Chains A and B, each alone.
Chain A
Amino acid sequence: MGEVILAMPGQWAHDYREKADHYTSKIGGLPDWPDLDIPVSGKLLLCDFCGGKLCLVAQIYAPLSMAERSIDERVIYVLGCMKKDCGSNPQSWRVLRLQRCKQDIESKDEPLKAEQPEEESTSVAEDKPTSQSSSVKVCDDEDSDSDIDLDDLAQALEQAATLASNSKKQDGTKHTRKIVEGPVAKKLIDDLTTPVLPCFYIYSQRNSSEGRMDKANFVGGSSISLKEIEKSSGNESEGESWEGEAYEYDKALGADRTYLKFKKQLDAYPEQCFRYSYGGNALFPVANVPKLGACKICGSARRFELQLMPPLLYFLQEASDDSSNFSIDGWTWLTIIIFTCPKNCCSGTCDEKSSNSCRCIVEEEAIVIQDD
């Protein structure tokens, strides 16, 4: 429960507007809504502060397995506003939790299988839902891999060989453009009005702490060897002894102890895009923590689920140098911490007797932004 899972950056999307499925975790791009009874209302996609359209910052597939029930169809969308003043304002950010609240395992299999042919997997690292439904209780991914690799591999190879001809991003080394026949790129979402951030996919990694941190510290680049230290300590003249030293907490001119601890965790895995730890502890860069509200529906106190980290901003900024219409330079946050309802309640319109595909979309409001 207390373990932290880090999200490391994976492949870039060939086109920022390409369609994935709601089982993909990605940063940027356009949100992939699963089949909903009621489509997502427009009001949820608008910024509270300036009224403009929100763009998708992160889409995280976060199924849960709790003691009494497991929710496999649970996706969290983090939406943000790219206007200048809205960057650090908690009102301009929105976190949506979308889940299918049906606990019945048998009834779940059918809609999942029906969705399979529609979806196009984008990277081999992504899991197919069959592995999910077949291993609800036991997390046994070794067996399910064999089911999916051949199809996936063929698709992935085909996509790697055919570069999308509408790649807007210029690099130093241009890709050779090939003339392609047949299906070129992935399906694109037909929505030109919403601002779109550069899109890349995420793979997860466990946080294996101690060994990495020492290695990361070594980057500091010491030009001193231990022999020199012994030599210098022998050079002391008499009457000069360093007395009365006591333990001192880390301190620098611009950085205090809390921030240095935050930075230490970041240095262990410098590319982490977000940290996921359901019910665990958040990593605060600044000591004072604002108070959180309770869940609007059930009233229980919210619990930490995940927090976005600054390398995400760096990757997005690198990709969107001058090719996009919108810029994220107004974002100066150090971390965005998201708290969700521990009971995973949904708005009371669905009851036990209703049919399988009852999906609820709930707005979570507990977002804490800690600024640079």
Chain B
Amino acid sequence: MAERGDRGGFGRGFGGRGGGEGGGRGRGRGERRGGRRGNKSEEEKWVPVTKLGRLVKSNNITSIEQIYLHSLPVKEHQIIDTLLKGLKDEVMKITPVQKQTRAGQRTRFKAFVVVGDGDGHVGLGVKCAKEVATAIRGAIILAKLSVIPVRRGYWGNKIGLPHTVPCKVTGKCGSVTVRMVPAPRGAGIVAARVPKKVLQFAGIEDVFTSSRGSTKTLGNFVKATFDCLMKTYGFLTPDFWTETRFSNSPYQQYTDLLSKPTTKALLPPTEEPLQAEA
């Protein structure tokens, strides 16, 4: 079979140099342009993968609301880390999940993590993995990728800051439906222990909740609460009746600015020796 003898030769072009990994990288970093003289350790350096990530890294996008305004999908958790600094996370539950195989049972761990800053941004992440630590780390990353804005409003008088849900909203996951109803100040979060945590991270101070369905499946219960919070900004209230003024999405904004070719003349190569001698 010809395939067995095939060896892609790109690596062979440089040979399996043992020192290639450490030496090359050190060489590369030292000489790299762009002033990478600051001592960034390998772990802290984020190389963005998506266009949105590149825009965030270069500080063209400073607030996460610009991302929400255009519904851009966030595919890198470092974007959220950069834009939302005060994000706290908490593990809600780690359950073992079992699968029956011919050789016995295979147990994996499922971690539920909620992240939030207590001021209108909350995210929920669920991850299964063979080890607990891996599951938690993975769930934190997934939670950061799913951070959503939460709209808050008033129950009655519009005095002070918004403290409750703007209107009655309901969310559903599986058989569980969760309904949130605006509450007056001082009522606190009237909910079961598990969704209460999510609502605290979201920054809602007062709310009445009511749930239906098999809330024993707490995974679905938590996801239903999260779905409910997602809908707070989807509800059309009379405040939004005015015409929307559309603005350019960050992709277009920065592409138009930078894609105009500048008419800078290139220095012809013959001029260099003159400069060197001068």
Give A contacts to B, CB under 8 Å. Answer: 1, 5, 7-12, 23, 25, 60-68, 71-72, 74, 84, 123, 125-127, 131-132, 139, 141, 164-166, 168-169, 171-173, 179-181, 184-185, 188, 190, 192, 200, 203-206, 214, 217-224, 226, 228-229, 232-233, 237, 240-248, 250-255, 259, 263, 266, 270-271, 276-280, 305-306, 310-311, 313-314, 317-319, 322, 325-327, 329-330, 332, 334, 372
The answer to whether A5 and B125 touch (CB under 8 A), given A220-B140, A224-B91, is no
B266 at interface by CB-CB < 8 Å: yes
Other-chain contact of A8, B6, B25, B49 (Cβ < 8 Å): B25
Residues on the B chain within 8 Å of A125, using CB: 14, 17, 20, 23-24, 27
Interface residues of B (CB under 8 A from A): 2-17, 20-21, 23-25, 27-28, 31-35, 37, 43-52, 54, 57, 72-77, 81, 88-95, 97, 99, 108, 110, 125-128, 132-134, 136-138, 140-142, 145-146, 148, 193-194, 216-219, 251, 254-255, 258-259, 261-264, 266-269, 271-273, 275-277
Complex Cα gap A206–B108 (Å) = 30
Contact A188 to B269, CB < 8 A, known contacts A64-B6, A204-B14, A243-B216? yes
Nearest neighbor of B133 in chain A, beta-carbon distance: A226
What are 26 A-B interface contacts by the 8 Å CB criterion?
A: A1-B3, A7-B10, A8-B24, A10-B27, A11-B27, A12-B31, A12-B33, A62-B13, A165-B272, A166-B272, A203-B14, A204-B11, A218-B137, A233-B93, A240-B193, A245-B95, A247-B108, A250-B127, A250-B138, A253-B146, A271-B47, A278-B8, A279-B3, A310-B49, A319-B34, A325-B261
B5 x A242 contact (CB < 8 A): no
Q: Report the Cα distance A237→B133, complex, angstroms.
A: 24
Question: Given B5, B6, B72, B255, which contacts A330 in the complex, CB threshold below 8 Å?
Answer: B255
Q: Which residues of B contact A305 (CB under 8 A)?
A: 8
Interface of B is mostly: mixed
Give A314 to B76 CA distance when docked, in angstroms.
Answer: 14
> Can you list the 6 inter-chain pairs with the closest CB atoms, starting with the nearest?
A278-B8, A254-B73, A67-B5, A141-B15, A252-B145, A63-B9
With a cutoff of 8 Å between Cβ atoms, the chain B residues found around residue A226 in the complex are 132-133
B28 x A11 contact (CB < 8 A) = yes
Report Cα–Cα, A139/B6, bound state, in Å: 14
Cβ–Cβ < 8 Å partners of B136 in chain A: 222, 224, 229
Interface centre among B11, B23, B127, B262 (most CB of A within 10 A): B11
Which chain A residue has the least Cβ–Cβ distance from B71?
A254
In the complex, what residues of B have CB within 8 A of residue A7's CB?
A: 10
